[in-house]
Structure 1
């Protein structure tokens, strides 16, 4: 039982993990690889190729961001231009730790995230945001992401029309430290900038300047996010780390579990959040998992779900559809209990008298967990002892490390995204960019197909 002042730990509950078509013994073909995996992990961290784990950039980031924070917070609005990993982490943190922006009568700072080619919304921001009170943050590791650059060109024009030469004081660039168009733009024009460290892909970058700049703007405890993440990864590269360390690490256990699930035909992984303000972490995880592992016909499809909302939509499929789904269920016993029901409820609902509104969420989460288990769904509960920034950092690090290890167990590279590039090349060809002769020919052939259409 929790006592006054005690700390509730973050835990993974494996009680329902080996359910349905999987048993713990099925994992042995992957467990025996832990020696090679441990050696590889330490080697990759030491070589700087997994910087999201040991954060060699942390000291420089903290120094730079502390200096920039008063300037960032002098603005009323931040317009963040970025897509994919340049936006999903920031949105998850905003929804989790700055929910007041979505509530009535909000009068504080506001973060607006432009993560799509949405002309109507971009026009609305340019029409309604006061340029003199707005900081535009442009995020692209490569410095050449066409969606983000297009937004930047229009935002630059919008600021310049209102502020003249002072527009440069309303822009921050987060990009590669040495190369790419945005790095050149920042250096030539003297724009404020922070680097995206080498070997840090977008989906692994939330705990760098990519996510910490908007976190600092919204006055989150961003240092606690970093501390939490480092605490999870540190044992893996500490002096003396080795096979035994990896064997007992929760990220390794998650990786082995998921690899075993895939071998047994579980092709979908539900991320079911029963922490309402953390619902967007499911969408952040979706990109992390899908873009890292969906290669060579391998991987499993992540499905973000929100408790209790999706109990009234997709849960029918989860419980009574194809038996191809496993589940990560996110919960916390420390959520606000909310208002208490009075004694005047109708007799039919008398059992709610004296209960709190938050009790309903806990009961619904337990009900879903048990229903999934009874349906034969392998399920691991990620129970967060608290829902502060440090806990969020721990969760993000755990899932990031587990994703890398799962990719290695699949014998694929979890750090690249080769298939995504084809769509980008074809889009550039359609827009008339040079150097895409093969893609242009393919595009012409695709558009020359005889249409088979039907009105409705």
Structure 2
């Protein structure tokens, strides 16, 4: 499904690192570890919901949420958009409160053809509730309107303000487990509902995650543990972690990774020291023509992870045409575009390794629901491991909360 390769030296992993995460999982304080087993039966609940005639008739799915409520869903949809399971429904996202973007998304939206998924773990995210209010006014909906109850669904924590609102007015509500943080929630209803609505096999997605989970807790993922140990123990020397993903389908995945890594690891540790690693997401081969120069000849303060797809399942050939004056490009004639991209990944990686930069690679056999679930869970586990080694609370975000308090004071 996915194999990992390390191109730097590091120590043999300490078995206690597996045990630390196992204890964390058993404690029940961190709930994302259990999501691959679908303990709440969310897949069956979703299957029943999307079979309703008024839901099946919706041609546009609008996710109203931000950060952990949207990035993971966007990532997986972009990774799998080319696959045969993807249906023709539009999947849109009302996230940022940028008025230009908002109005662009609103153009052409028809209430009776759209399903609006309001997602907020806390139930009171200011961007989400602001878009929600706008939608109510735009479509002239009252709380008692049957169209409101039919075309809107909520995903939130049980007992949150949004949950109580939904219960009062009879809306369908899916619950996020209390012990699952927003940026770790894509394998809950947060991601599973919209992904199922556009046709993906969400049980296969969870199955891919479970494959890695079982392997990890059987202590069979030494390369991942070595990588986390290297990142944590060399954080002062290599504070920047570059994810160089070869394929445009990874653009939204990179954005999800940036949030997960930055918001989880950028903390004050138990000794009062500022800790953190800075994530950078790049796309190959595009960023070979920009950021690569900095990696090769800039400060040696970065690690690099390459992601490569082995089988694109479609690979049109570069025509055997010789262009006058451009004959030096003929060496690639007759080869596939995917073959070229893979070779570029290999060549770029070798050039980085040759400069003494610490590099590892994830090789994905093909992009499908199982590999997407595996990849998501890989980065969640890697984040938990690295956070434990940095001795920070991987699952809170006090710095973000401070900004929210200041914002509120500006409007008071």
TM-score (norm: length of structure 1): 0.82
Residues 383 and 119 from structure 1, CA distance in 2 versus in 1: closer, same or farther, beyond 3 angstroms?
Answer: same
How far does residue 250 in structure 1 lie from its aligned partner after superposition? 4.0
Aligned equivalent of 2:200, options 220, 230, 233: 220
How far does residue 363 in structure 1 lie from its aligned partner after superposition? 1.6
- Note the residue ranges of structure 1 that are not aligned, 5 or more in a row: 1-8, 19-23, 101-105, 433-456
1:137-156 equivalences under 5 Å are 137-156=117-136
Residues 358 and 170 from structure 1, CA distance in 2 versus in 1: closer, same or farther, beyond 3 angstroms?
Answer: same
Note the aligned Cα RMSD (angstroms): 2.1
Partner residue in 2 for 1:203: 183
- Note the residue ranges of structure 2 that are not aligned, 5 or more in a row: 269-273
Counting matched residue pairs gives: 398
Aligned equivalent of 2:230, options 249, 254, 257: 257
1:196-246 Cα shifts (integer Å, max 9, x gaps):
112111110111111111101110111111011111112455xxx5xxx27
2:155–2:176: 8 Å Cα contact kept in structure 1? yes
How far does residue 108 in structure 1 lie from its aligned partner after superposition? 2.4
Partner residue in 2 for 1:13: 5
1:98–1:218: 8 Å Cα contact kept in structure 2? no
Aligned equivalent of 1:357, options 337, 347, 362: 337
How far does residue 379 in structure 1 lie from its aligned partner after superposition? 0.6
How far does residue 267 in structure 1 lie from its aligned partner after superposition? 0.7
1:79–1:114: 8 Å Cα contact kept in structure 2? yes
How far does residue 191 in structure 1 lie from its aligned partner after superposition? 0.8
1:331 lines up with 2:331 in the alignment: no
Work out the CA distance in 2 between the residues paired with 1:386 and 1:427: 44
Partner residue in 2 for 1:402: 382
Aligned equivalent of 1:112, options 79, 92, 105: 92
Work out the CA distance in 2 between the residues paired with 1:87 and 1:348: 45
Range with greater deviation from structure 2 (71-80 or 285-294): 71-80
Work out the CA distance in 1 between the residues paired with 2:39 and 2:59: 27
Residues 184 and 161 from structure 1, CA distance in 2 versus in 1: closer, same or farther, beyond 3 angstroms?
Answer: closer
Partner residue in 2 for 1:415: 395
Range with greater deviation from structure 2 (46-55 or 362-371): 46-55
How far does residue 57 in structure 1 lie from its aligned partner after superposition? 4.0
1:172–1:193: 8 Å Cα contact kept in structure 2? yes
1:291 lines up with 2:282 in the alignment: no
Secondary structure, aligned partner of 1:255: helix
1:56-115 Cα shifts (integer Å, max 9, x gaps):
644511121111122443211111111111111011112112259xxxxx9921011112
1:312-332 Cα shifts (integer Å, max 9, x gaps):
121111211111010111112
Partner residue in 2 for 1:170: 151
Aligned equivalent of 1:87, options 61, 70, 84: 70
1:54–1:234: 8 Å Cα contact kept in structure 2? no
Partner residue in 2 for 1:68: 49
Aligned equivalent of 1:370, options 350, 365, 372: 350
Residues 275 and 127 from structure 1, CA distance in 2 versus in 1: closer, same or farther, beyond 3 angstroms?
Answer: closer
2:43–2:202: 8 Å Cα contact kept in structure 1? no
1:14-73 Cα shifts (integer Å, max 9, x gaps):
1x133xxxxx2xx47xx44x42x3443222212222322222644511121111122443
Work out the CA distance in 2 between the residues paired with 1:226 and 1:255: 23
Secondary structure, aligned partner of 2:134: helix
How far does residue 129 in structure 1 lie from its aligned partner after superposition? 0.5
Secondary structure, aligned partner of 1:50: coil
CA radius of gyration, larger in: 1
1:181 lines up with 2:154 in the alignment: no
Work out the CA distance in 1 between the residues paired with 2:222 and 2:172: 39
Residues 73 and 275 from structure 1, CA distance in 2 versus in 1: closer, same or farther, beyond 3 angstroms?
Answer: farther
Partner residue in 1 for 2:171: 191
Work out the CA distance in 1 between the residues paired with 2:306 and 2:87: 34
Aligned equivalent of 2:359, options 379, 387, 392: 379
